[in-house]
């Protein structure tokens, strides 16, 4: 399945994917989701129509909540994965891995040395933790999100020069 830049025309489908996985990535309304996507350093879609997507901010993006801000206070240059969603029917086909590989290529192309994200510990998301570990992410800290009380683990992947 092709990984490509997400288009504005994809937003309704991406919003539906996002909201179907609201426990993991937080629900959005159409206006908030469009604004969030517009601030992305990298916004990728898998397939047409999209069966998955990834949204990442960078160190140059103004703070997008406490999790992005956590990395702003610790890393001079990074790409922060705000959300990645793959439709249940498309899981197990390597789409998540392909989305991350495309982000990594984009980050390297502009000399960003670190990929960052957070994964829920409470409510638990063991599948996401295992996925990130397989991709080479390592723990960097933990916090409670003051907006919703979720406990998260911060993860980083340092990219080779």
Q: Using CA atoms in the order 28, 29, 31, 35, what is the torsion angle rounded to 10 degrees?
A: 0
Tell me the pLDDT tens digit for each residue of 45-83.
999 999 999 999 999 999 999 999 999 999 999 999 999
**Domains with residue ranges and CATH for the chain:** 3-158 (3.40.630.30)
Q: How confident is the model at residue 161 (pLDDT cuts 50, 70, 90)?
A: confident
Give CA–CA dist 79/92, Å, rounded: 25
pLDDT of residue 135: 97
As a whole number of angstroms, the distance between CA 103 and CA 89 comes to: 23
Instruction: Tell me the per-residue pLDDT of 99-133, one tens digit each, with 9 for 90 and over.
Output: 999 999 999 999 999 999 999 999 898 989 999 99
Sheet with 42-46, strands from edge to edge, namely 3-5, 42-46, 52-58, 79-86, 114-122, 151-158, 138-144
Structure tokens, 133: 């570990």
Give the Cα-Cα-Cα angle 11, 16, 17 (nearest 5 degrees): 95
Q: What is the pLDDT of residue 84?
A: 93
pLDDT beyond 90 at 26: no
Q: What is the pLDDT of residue 71?
A: 98
Query: What is d(CA 38, CA 32) in angstroms, rounded to the nearest whole number?
Result: 10
């Amino acid at each position: 399945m092709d990984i490509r830049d997400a288009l504005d025309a994809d937003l309704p489908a991406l919003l539906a994917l996002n909201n179907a996985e609201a426990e993991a990535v937080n629900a959005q309304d159409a206006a908030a989701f469009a604004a969030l996507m517009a601030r992305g350093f990298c916004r990728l879609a898998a397939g047409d129509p999209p069966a998955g997507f990834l949204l990442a901010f960078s160190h140059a993006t103004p703070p997008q909540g406490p999790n992005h801000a956590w990395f702003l206070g610790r890393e001079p240059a990074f790409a922060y994965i705000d959300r990645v969603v793959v439709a249940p029917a498309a899981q197990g086909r390597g789409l998540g891995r392909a989305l991350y590989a495309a982000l990594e290529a984009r980050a390297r192309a502009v000399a960003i040395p670190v990929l960052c994200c957070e994964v829920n510990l409470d409510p638990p998301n063991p599948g996401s933790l295992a996925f990130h570990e397989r991709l080479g992410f390592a723990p960097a800290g933990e916090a409670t999100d003051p907006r919703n009380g979720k406990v998260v683990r911060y993860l980083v992947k340092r990219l080779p020069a």
